[in-house]
């Protein structure tokens, strides 16, 4: 049987997370597939947790991992000043970004897409600064308040050696159960946030604040249903303080993205740049807790990241 052609791909930069079991499983299948090409492209493997270094010219970037790995890869690529279109090979728990872009989540199909795709789209990223010191990039959704507290608990659980594998296997289901337990086990007093944009300042209180470049977040929720990955805007969804039972009734609507119509007290707006002040608390970015800031500044970087897609991405 003749070997499959590698087309115009001469070199590949593959970014992966050394702490991801699923990414390690996908690696062998990827290596076998690439080695079967004629001619076989040169593969450069780098870890997203390593110090970024210039890998030299590459034709294509493969990011193997889940949402958190994609976020780390974005930062790694910026620091290493690598410019090439990227293909996402999902190997995480939720893979929300891949799903939102229509990228298949099975290894064989996503690897085939990564090698064969020609259609790309430049999507937005969001630069955030915490307490005027720490800076990072976000592609999907950030959150403050209740969802960040739940995410921090989930992260601690999945790092426990005895239960980490069942936790990762249960994925979204475990996340939802943990959210319910947290809701009924802690006082959901409202958090007061101060907001400032280029032309407006205001204060508001609530139990959760979502900041979306893309609409979905862990647990299968869609808090920012109007968010688009290439509109140059950051969506903000502020959930008011609710009783546990009222929040329980709202959860299914957030999952479907129909909560804006169901709860008129929700505040929803879009801005290109925003500054937020709060009592120190966890800040969730693309599935990972990145700090406990008091001041968060976010700015949309339009068309910052070029990705391969299975078909032209329609907005």
pLDDT at 16: 93
What is d(CA 60, CA 102) in angstroms, rounded to the nearest whole number? 19
Structure tokens at 216: 């979905």
Q: What is the DSSP letter of 240?
A: P
184: number of Cβ within 10 Å: 11
Q: Is 145 helix (H, G, I), strand (E, B) or coil?
A: strand
Whole-angstrom Cα distance, residue 311 to residue 120? 8
Q: Give the per-residue pLDDT at 151.
A: 79
For the sheet with 141-145, list strands across it. 267-271, 234-239, 208-212, 141-145, 283-285, 288-289
Interacting residues of 49 by C-beta distance below 8 A, sequence separation 6+: 17, 18, 19, 72
Element (H, E) at 164: helix 164-170
Asked if residue 126 lies in contact with residue 201, where contact means CB atoms within 8 angstroms, the answer is no
Q: Give CA–CA dist 143/186, Å, rounded.
A: 18
CATH number of the 127-302 domain: 2.60.200.40
Q: Which residues, given as ranges, of the chain have pLDDT below 50?
A: 1-5, 313-315
d(CA 141, CA 287): 8
- Residue 215 is predicted with a pLDDT of 85
**Residue 297 dihedral angles phi and psi, to the nearest 5°:** -120, 130
pTM equals 0.85
Report whether CATH 3.40.50.10330 matches the domain 11-118: yes
Could you state, in order of their start, the residue ranges of all structural domains in the chain? 11-118, 127-302
pLDDT of residue 82: 93
Q: Do domains 11-118 and 127-302 have the same CATH topology?
A: no
**Residue 1 confidence (pLDDT):** 40
249: CB partners within 8 A, 6+ apart: none
pLDDT digits (tens, 9 = 90+) for 48-77: 999 988 888 999 999 999 888 998 999 999
Each residue's pLDDT tens digit, 165-191: 555 655 566 666 777 777 777 656 789
């Amino acid at each position: 049987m003749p070997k499959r052609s590698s087309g115009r791909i001469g070199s590949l930069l593959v970014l992966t997370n050394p702490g991801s079991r699923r990414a390690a499983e996908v690696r062998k299948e990827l290596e076998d597939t690439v080695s079967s090409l004629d001619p076989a492209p040169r593969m450069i493997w780098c870890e997203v947790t390593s110090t970024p270094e210039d890998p030299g010219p590459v034709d294509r970037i493969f990011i193997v991992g889940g949402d958190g790995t994609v976020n780390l890869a974005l930062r790694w690529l910026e620091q290493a000043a690598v410019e090439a279109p990227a293909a996402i090979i999902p190997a995480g728990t939720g893979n929300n970004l891949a799903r939102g872009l229509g990228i298949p989540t099975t290894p064989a199909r996503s690897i085939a897409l990564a090698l064969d795709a020609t259609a790309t789209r430049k999507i937005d990223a969001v630069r955030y600064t915490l307490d005027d010191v720490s800076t990072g990039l976000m592609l999907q959704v950030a959150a403050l308040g209740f969802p960040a507290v739940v995410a921090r608990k989930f992260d601690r659980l999945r790092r426990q050696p005895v239960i980490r594998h069942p936790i990762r296997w249960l994925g979204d289901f475990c996340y939802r159960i943990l959210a319910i337990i947290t809701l009924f086990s802690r006082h959901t007093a409202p958090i007061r946030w101060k907001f400032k944009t280029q032309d407006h300042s205001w204060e508001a209180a609530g139990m959760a604040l979502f900041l979306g470049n893309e609409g979905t977040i862990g647990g299968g929720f869609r808090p920012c249903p109007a968010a688009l990955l290439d509109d140059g805007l950051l969506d903000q969804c502020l959930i008011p303080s609710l009783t546990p039972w009222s929040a329980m009734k709202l959860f299914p609507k957030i999952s479907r993205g129909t909560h804006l119509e169901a709860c008129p007290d929700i505040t929803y707006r879009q801005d290109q740049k925003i500054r937020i002040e709060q009592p120190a608390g966890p800040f969730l970015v693309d599935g990972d807790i990145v700090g406990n800031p008091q001041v968060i500044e976010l700015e949309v970087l339009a068309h910052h990241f070029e990705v391969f897609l299975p078909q032209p991405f329609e907005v």
